[in-house]
Structure 1
Amino acid sequence: MALRINDTVPNFTAETDQGTIQFHDFIGDNWTIMFSHPKDFTPVCTTEFGAVAQLADEWAKRDTKVIGISVDSAEDHVKWKGDIESFAGTKAGFPIIADSGLEVAKLFDMLPSEAYLPDNRTPADSATVRSVFIIGPDKKLKLSMTYPMTIGRNFAEVLRALDALQLTYNVPLAAPANWQVGQDVIVATALNDADAEAKYGTLDKKLPYLRFAKAPS
């Protein structure tokens, strides 16, 4: 069954390059980003892991944990991190899940249940393990996106989406197209004009159902 927005994400126990984790315990009360890869020592993925490592301070500002997953062994992950850190010029302090048995990839519906890794496999055998999952502190899936192997993920967009998710979490607000931090937000139609203005101040009413307000600080 496909994992959908607002589903509770699967809990699992897995080995990482930093030891054993239990996923819900790892999340704790934090926002969490899990990003997946079809094989270690691949060029695009190395640039992506490097980008995540370079954003360590940004994740920390947002009280967000990051964790990678690749369908190779923890031992390979340790070796690969040397390449990642050399390329990125910084430490990759986050763990990487070892998913050589594809258990986690299947739990998160990145591969069909009958998938397996053949001998002498290539990244094409697990090409769909190229997703980003943003998970809330309630352990529910808030956003997912999947990229092909030839397109490096845009982690500026991941940060933007995370900022929007955190701003609108459990409040009657939404982020419009191309929203950036500091820009106005949309007030949900669940609030009438009077209640919306009492809560968020003067509204900029574009349409009866499209009302903007200053983003809460």
Structure 2
Amino acid sequence: MQKDFEKLNTKIITLSCDDVVSHAAWSKDVTAQAKCDRADLPYPVIADSKRELAVALGMIDPAEKDAQGLPLTARAVFLVGPDKKLKLSILYPATTGRNMAEVLRVLQSLQLTAYKKVATPVNWQPGGECMVVPSVKADEAAKLFPQHRVVDVPSGKGYLRFTPQP
């Protein structure tokens, strides 16, 4: 999915508690499993064999241990914006794989909602209907999103406002 992330102007960096020699062998396994046409990974892998960064970033899973009895590192995903601020963090237990399609979907949502006055509802997919953020007043919503619709709710508050993705 590297190309999908590149289309979104996103750089991937990985962190591993293994050493550089291990990374070289592991990258060949990964690219072979992913059926890539290259033997090396298209992104950098940071060696953190002392686990200093993993500990600092809260990426240790105390419930899972390696053969030496050391806690395994959790599988973490951090999305950092152009402003160098954390936009999303997901911490998966060491025993659970990541869902890169979901990470890509979240990235697309973050990029959309950073520049448009919308939010993405549950199960949103790119191109799907969005919600007008609550800070947009009704008259502004009518101008910005002429095709928006308001869903009636028992409270009578008109905060559920949906619009085609801008």
> TM-score w.r.t. structure 2 length?
0.84
After superposition, give the CA deviation of every residue in 1:142-172 in whole Å (9 maximum; x if it has no partner). Answer: 1111222332211111111111111101442
Q: Which amino acid aligns with 1:164?
A: S
Q: Which amino acid aligns with 1:84?
A: V
Q: Which amino acid aligns with 2:98?
A: R
Aligned residues: 156
For residue 83 of structure 2, the aligned residue among 138, 145, 153 is 138
Does the C-alpha gap of structure 1 residues 202 and 79 become closer, same or farther in structure 2, counting only changes over 3 Å? same
Matched, 1:71 2:17: yes
Q: Which amino acid aligns with 1:136?
A: G
Match of 2:140 in 1: 195
Matched, 1:121 2:71: no
Match of 1:99 in 2: 48
Match of 1:210 in 2: 160
Q: Which amino acid aligns with 1:209?
A: Y
Instruction: Map 1:56-67 onto structure 2 (within 5 A).
Output: 56-67=2-13
Gaps of 5+ in 2: 153-157
Does the C-alpha gap of structure 1 residues 158 and 107 become closer, same or farther in structure 2, counting only changes over 3 Å? same
Q: How far did residue 111 of structure 1 move? A: 3.6
Quote the sequence identity (%). Answer: 38
Q: Which amino acid aligns with 2:16?
A: S
For residue 80 of structure 1, the aligned residue among 16, 26, 35 is 26
> TM-score w.r.t. structure 1 length?
0.66
Matched, 1:154 2:99: yes
| Residues 75 and 98 in structure 2, CA contact (< 8 A), matched pair in contact too | no
Instruction: Map 1:153-192 onto structure 2 (within 5 A).
Output: 153-192=98-137
Coordinate RMSD, CA, aligned: 2.2
Alpha-carbon distance in 1 for matches of 2:18, 2:109: 33
Q: Which amino acid aligns with 1:121?
A: Q
Match of 2:57 in 1: 108
Q: How far did residue 187 of structure 1 move? A: 0.8
Q: How far did residue 119 of structure 1 move? A: 9.6
